[in-house]
Amino acid sequence: MLPNDAVERIGEGCKRIGDLCKQEGISQWEVVAFQSYGHQLDIEAGKISLAAGGGEGGYGIRVLEEGRFGYAYLVDASSATPAIQQALDVARASPAIEGFVLPSAQEAAPVDGLCDRRILDIGPEDLLEQADAVLSEVASLDKRAVVTGGGLGVGATASAILSSEGIESSGITTSHGLGVQVSIDADDELTSSYEGDSGRQLLADVPSCIANAVHWAQVTRGPIEVDSQPQDTPVLMTSEGFSPLFSMVVPTALRGDRLVRNESFWSGKEGTQVLASDLSLIDDGRMDGGKSASSRDGEGVPSRRQTLVENGRLVGSMWGTRDAAQQVAEGRIEHAETTGNAVRGGHQSPPGIGCSDFTMTSKNGGHSQDALLQEMGDGYIVHSVMGAHTANPTSGDFSVTTSTILRVEGGQILGPVKQAGLSGNLAKALSEGVRLGDDVRVQGSYSSGSMHLPDVLMLQGLRVNPA
């Protein structure tokens, strides 16, 4: 899947571009390169509908002169000269950021588990076998169930960074992902559930998310009648339902630039309690096998593991080099420096600030779902939401809908609700009366990085409006 010389080829391209930057007399420059290859299959209406494969990539160039920076990108290193000139033109037309310099080279220890060599040997035939196994598993779990959408794929990315400040690094990461929409259309009722799994390592032929998709398509059938009046109520959100809201709101609130610009609901609260006193938030850029982990961040700064909220108190924030210099230059903060949280979405844009592998933990440990339901008493279980991207990361307010919701009374599940609105303020809901489940699952993110979250019981701050 990945050419044997992929890393060497993009590394040589970075050096060619770097040499041209030196010839132009550019004081500081940085070149990044990405080359990705992969195979994927799509599934529709219970059948494999499309098999595809290929690759993409290119180079990004950031130049810096007296605090002014410019950025350009290109596909082939042979066309670097006009791209460098474009980056210079942008820099010379940009305002200067006093004190902004590219980071210097530092030693960075490797992170384990980011490349699974087995994935490099997977071809389309292997994916076809896995897809067949998934379709068969769904049919065996419930003869009414059909995979109406989804797909699976594998990928490998060769990446490199080279800078005028002595940073030089390259490597390979792999990925394997799968997601399915399982539907049950029977007895004049249609229910469905989407579940997925992905990681740096090779997944099982039939991951546990497949059974979970069938389960939620089953348990949401036969909706019961409930009071349609809005009510403030405890809600137990599964990891899958909670992660879209959490990832949209919480990591963004911990960006240093947003905190000092008063664009975070935690602005001005450094050193004070912002979460329930047993909760901590950790960003781990060095997690073994982490979906967003790396030995270096998007600027080549060594990655790190840092606690941002400790036992409920806000003790840290996330920074990249440019944003730290800019906020100091504009007088919003006396001192700030990179925390190794520069992230890139690829070669086409300069780095921004984001989290890596983000975890919420409790010093009280985790609890079984039965224990959480008993503590909740009367309330709801929410497994998925629609509209999480509309949540406000400045205020923490959100208003979403869900059709994967169960009514709970006296700690017992009564049955599904056809549809409901869910609203509240996530900062308030997490400030006290929070209990965590005992099964941490890895989820995707609306912002950056990956979320490592259990089920979360919130006893206050949420309102449910059944349809």
**What mean pLDDT comes out for the span 140-169?**
97
Distance CA 143, CA 124 (A): 27
CB atoms within 10 A of CB 65: 17
Q: What share of the chain has pLDDT > 90, as a percent?
A: 95
Residue 315 reports pLDDT greater than 90: yes
Residue 354 reports pLDDT greater than 90: yes
Whether 458 and 431 have beta carbons less than 8 Å apart is answered as: no
Residue 179 reports pLDDT greater than 90: yes
Residues 6+ apart with CB under 8 A from 140: none
Question: Residue 445 is encoded by which pair of tokens?
Answer: 């993110």
Q: Residue 53: which pLDDT band, with cuts at 50, 70 and 90? A: confident
Closest by Cα among 317, 305, 315 to 260: 317
CA atoms within 13 A on the CB side of 158: 22
Question: Residue 264 is encoded by which pair of tokens?
Answer: 């975070």
Distance CA 397, CA 234 (A): 17
Q: What is the pLDDT of residues 333-353, one digit of tens each?
A: 999 999 999 999 899 999 999
Domain ranges of the chain: 6-219, 231-466
Structure-derived torsion over alpha carbons of residues 196, 296, 38, 84, reported in degrees to the nearest 10: 130
Beta strand extents in 327-378 (DSSP E only): 342-343, 352-353, 357-362
CA atoms within 13 A on the CB side of 406: 21
DSSP type of residue 302? B
Q: Return the CATH number of the domain spanning residue range 6-219.
A: 3.30.2290.10
**What mean pLDDT comes out for the span 376-404?**
96
pLDDT at 2: 85
pLDDT at 392: 94
Residue 51 reports pLDDT greater than 90: no
CB atoms within 10 A of CB 370: 10
Residue 270 reports pLDDT greater than 90: yes
Whether 58 and 14 have beta carbons less than 8 Å apart is answered as: no
| H helices present in 41-187, as ranges | 80-92, 117-120, 124-141
Coil, strand or helix at 219 = helix
Q: In this structure, which amino acid lies at residue 182?
A: V
Distance CA 105, CA 103 (A): 7
pLDDT at 246: 97
Q: Residue 405: which pLDDT band, with cuts at 50, 70 and 90? A: very high
Type and span of the H or E element at 369: helix 369-376
pLDDT at 1: 78
The number of angstroms, rounded, from the C-alpha of 9 to the middle of its chain's C-alpha atoms is 29
Q: What is the pLDDT of residues 1-35, one digit of tens each?
A: 788 899 999 999 999 999 999 999 999 999 999 99
CB atoms within 10 A of CB 136: 11
pLDDT at 446: 82
Average pLDDT, the chain: 96
